Structures are given as C-alpha cells and as structure tokens.
C-alpha cells in the first residue's frame, strides 16, 4: 500500500467524469495474457473503479509492435496505461516509443512516481524511466512492469486522478496536431 494523502476535493474533481474509457498494454518478451499479473491488476482496478476497458494487449519488447499496439489503443481510449519496457536494458524500448507519441508531457508524473518508488525500493527507483503525458487527445502513461511498481503508480497517482485528468484534457479542448490528427 502506498503512503499518500487523500485526493483533494475541488470543483474540477466534482465535475470530472466518474468513468473513463481506458486501455492497458503490457510490453514483455515473457508474459502472456495468462501470466500478466501487472496488466490483470490494472484491468481489475479499472473495472472495479467503474471505468470502461476498451482494449488490452500484450506485445513483445519491440518498437514497431509497441507503436502499432499503442496507435490502435489511442484511437478508442481516453487513457492508455502501459507496463513494462521502461528500464535501461537493451530490450527496454517502450519509453522512446511513448515519448515519440506524447504531444504534451506531464513531467510531474514520472517525478512523483520515482519519489513514491524511492520510499519503497530506495535508490533502485532511479532505474525507472516512467513517463506520462498527452498523446493527442489521449492520456498515455508508461509504467515499469513489476506488479509492485504498477500498484504504486495506480494507488499513489492514477486511481484518484483519472476522472480529473480526463476532465482537464477535455475542458478547453486540445490544439489540432500536425497532419490533421488531434
């Protein structure tokens, strides 16, 4: 369980949707849908929170496979959460793909995630390159693959802010992206 303060109650929180369209992508060379504990945790938590799960996939640690899966999920979801491939090994290619899709970074997400992780795993938290931001009209968050890290991000950052994040994205609209996508 992550040590955190209760979510603030603001007019924006009150106006936020109670349910968002969400998708989960697991990046792994070894996991399958049956052995994907991190992805299954996210799916269960999203559903328990009343969110609509509009997509789920497990893809190998390959930039083209990750990009293809994300492109499809971004079309249908308000938020996409990935797990895996965020470390520093040669096979960890999730972050460059995610960063190439992000049009409006949320640097505070990665900073806060590493702060929470530091409390749990000490200096090893620096190995995480977790990131978040907007990819066009969709919120995109890349988490490490371990169940503990996913639980930390979910309970400490995302769970209580999903509706508020979705509200903020839609509140004044987003500028059209180059190439007419937006």
CATH code, domain carrying 76: 3.40.980.10
Q: What are phi and psi of 58, to 5 degrees?
A: -120, 125
Question: Is residue 181 in a domain?
Answer: no
Question: Is residue 75 in a domain?
Answer: yes
The confidence score (pLDDT) of residue 2 equals 43
In the structure, what pLDDT confidence band is assigned to residue 173 with cuts at 50, 70 and 90?
A: confident
Domain count, the chain: 1
Could you give the angle at the alpha carbon of 18 between the alpha carbons of 7 and 50, nearest 5°? 105
Q: What are phi and psi of 51, to 5 degrees?
A: -85, 155
Judged against a pLDDT cut of 50, whether residue 61 lies above it is answered with yes
Question: Is residue 89 in a domain?
Answer: yes
In the chain, the N- to C-terminal Cα span, in Å, equals 37
Judged against a pLDDT cut of 80, whether residue 55 lies above it is answered with yes
The confidence score (pLDDT) of residue 171 equals 83
Q: β-strand 79-83 against 21-27: which pairing, if any?
A: parallel
Q: Which domain holds residue 159?
A: 18-170
Tokens 């400490």, residue located:
156
Question: Is residue 5 in a domain?
Answer: no
Question: In angstroms, how far apart are the furthest CA atoms of the chain?
Answer: 45
Judged against a pLDDT cut of 60, whether residue 180 lies above it is answered with no
The confidence score (pLDDT) of residue 128 equals 92
Question: Is residue 29 in a domain?
Answer: yes
Question: Is residue 177 in a domain?
Answer: no
Task: Show the tokens assigned to 115.
Answer: 């702060």
- DSSP per-residue codes, 48-72: HTT-EEEEEEEE-S-HHHHHHHHHH
- Please enumerate in sequence order all residues whose Cβ is within 8 A of that of 67, keeping only pairs 6 or more positions apart, or say none: 97, 100, 101
Question: Is residue 8 in a domain?
Answer: no
The confidence score (pLDDT) of residue 4 equals 47
Comparing 85 with 17, the larger pLDDT belongs to 85
Q: How far apart are CA 81 and CA 75, in angstroms?
A: 14
For the chain, strand residue ranges (E) read 21-27, 52-59, 79-83, 104-105, 131-135, 138-143
Task: Show the tokens assigned to 81.
Answer: 């959460």
The confidence score (pLDDT) of residue 73 equals 98
pTM: 0.89
Could you give the angle at the alpha carbon of 137 between the alpha carbons of 100 and 25, nearest 5°? 60
Question: Is residue 79 in a domain?
Answer: yes
- Please enumerate in sequence order all residues whose Cβ is within 8 A of that of 17, keeping only pairs 6 or more positions apart, or say none: 163, 166, 167
């Amino acid at each position: 369980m992550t040590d955190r303060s209760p979510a603030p109650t603001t007019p924006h929180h009150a106006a936020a949707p109670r349910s968002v369209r969400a998708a989960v992508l697991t990046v792994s060379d070894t996991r399958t849908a049956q052995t994907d504990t991190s992805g299954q945790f996210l799916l269960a938590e999203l559903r328990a929170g009343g969110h609509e799960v509009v997509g789920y996939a497990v893809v190998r640690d390959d930039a083209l496979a990750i990009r293809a899966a994300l492109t499809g999920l971004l079309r249908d979801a308000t938020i996409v959460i990935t797990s895996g491939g965020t470390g520093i090994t040669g096979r960890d290619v999730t972050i460059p793909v995610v960063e190439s899709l992000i049009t409006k970074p949320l640097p505070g997400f990665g900073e806060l995630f590493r702060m929470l992780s530091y409390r749990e795993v000490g200096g090893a938290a620096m190995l995480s390159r977790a990131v978040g931001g907007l990819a066009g009209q969709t919120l995109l968050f890349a988490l490490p693959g371990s169940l503990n890290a996913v639980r930390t991000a979910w309970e400490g950052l995302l769970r209580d802010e999903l509706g508020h994040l979705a509200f903020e994205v839609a509140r004044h609209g987003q500028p059209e992206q180059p190439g007419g996508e937006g």
